[in-house]
């Protein structure tokens, strides 16, 4: 069995306000760094054998803090990248929510492709493929994947046996850790969801 700890990056100035997606830059705020450090402290005894991260700066900064107590260096994986929002990249959430497309994002995300960008079904497929590939590379180990809300939610929908259209119901906090056990010969088990440093 491989244990995956799926970590949503800590907050930036745009978290919850703007569709940052794959825009360059966008660092953690000072409060975000503190939150990531606190979560890293909570995971210090997790026995991580590897830490993988989205290419996004906010994820790499979070991953560095998570990896430090374990003496690890995070490894970048492009398949952990945020959704490619295409023409919606950089738009405020307030603006996006007024669009017809966003109403479909909420009601039927499996049918959504962002103009000039990625389909949410593609996000789900690569999220699950990344989890399976990394689990196979670390049989019997415990690894952290530092990534984005959409990626985590889409992977969880798959492992919980939920249609992708239900994935908006899964919204991990920034930052938080969700634990999934993937046995070699049995069904996945979601052990914890969205645990934050301040949770009991």
Q: What is the CATH number of the domain that holds 11?
A: 3.40.50.1240
Answer whether 131's CB lies under 8 Å from 144's CB. no
- Residue 16's alpha-carbon distances to 54, 58, 62, 139, in angstroms, are 19, 14, 17, 35
Could you tell me the pTM of the whole model? Answer: 0.96
User: At a CB cut-off of 8 Å and minimum separation 6, what does 195 contact?
Assistant: 42, 176, 177, 178, 179
Quote the mean pLDDT of the chain.
96
pLDDT number for residue 126: 97
Q: Does residue 198 have a pLDDT over 90?
A: no
Q: What is the pLDDT of residues 39-72, one digit of tens each?
A: 999 999 999 999 999 999 999 999 999 999 999 9
* Mean pLDDT on 109-113: 96
Confirm whether 200 is domain-assigned. Answer: no
CA distance 114 to 88: 7
Banded model confidence at residue 132, pLDDT cuts 50, 70, 90? very high
Q: Does residue 181 have a pLDDT over 80?
A: yes
Number of folded domains that form the chain: 1
CA distance 152 to 117: 19
* Mean pLDDT on 91-109: 95
Residue range of the domain that includes 78: 2-195
Q: Does residue 156 have a pLDDT over 80?
A: yes
Per-residue tokens: 164: 């992708």
* Mean pLDDT on 139-167: 96
Banded model confidence at residue 200, pLDDT cuts 50, 70, 90? low
Q: Does residue 130 have a pLDDT over 90?
A: yes
Q: Does residue 179 have a pLDDT over 90?
A: yes
CA distance 145 to 160: 18
Backbone angles phi, psi at 9, to 5 degrees: -60, 160
């Amino acid at each position: 069995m491989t244990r995956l700890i799926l970590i949503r990056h800590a907050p930036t100035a745009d978290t919850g306000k703007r569709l940052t997606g794959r825009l360059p830059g966008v660092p953690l705020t000072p409060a975000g760094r503190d939150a990531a450090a606190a979560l890293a402290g909570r995971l210090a005894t997790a026995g991580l054998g590897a830490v993988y991260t989205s290419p996004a700066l906010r994820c790499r900064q979070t991953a560095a803090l998570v990896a430090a107590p374990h003496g690890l260096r995070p490894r970048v994986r492009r398949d952990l990248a945020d959704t490619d929002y295409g023409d919606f990249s950089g738009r405020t959430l307030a603006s996006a929510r007024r669009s017809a497309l966003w109403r479909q994002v909420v009601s039927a995300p499996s049918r959504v492709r962002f103009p000039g960008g990625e389909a949410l079904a593609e996000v789900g497929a690569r999220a699950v493929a990344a989890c399976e590939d990394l689990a196979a590379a670390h049989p019997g180990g415990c690894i952290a994947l530092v990534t984005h809300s959409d990626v985590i939610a889409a992977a969880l929908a798959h492992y919980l046996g939920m249609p992708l259209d239900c994935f908006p119901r899964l919204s991990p906090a920034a930052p938080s850790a969700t634990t999934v056990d993937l046995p070699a010969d049995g069904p996945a088990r979601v052990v914890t969801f969205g645990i934050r440093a301040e949770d009991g």
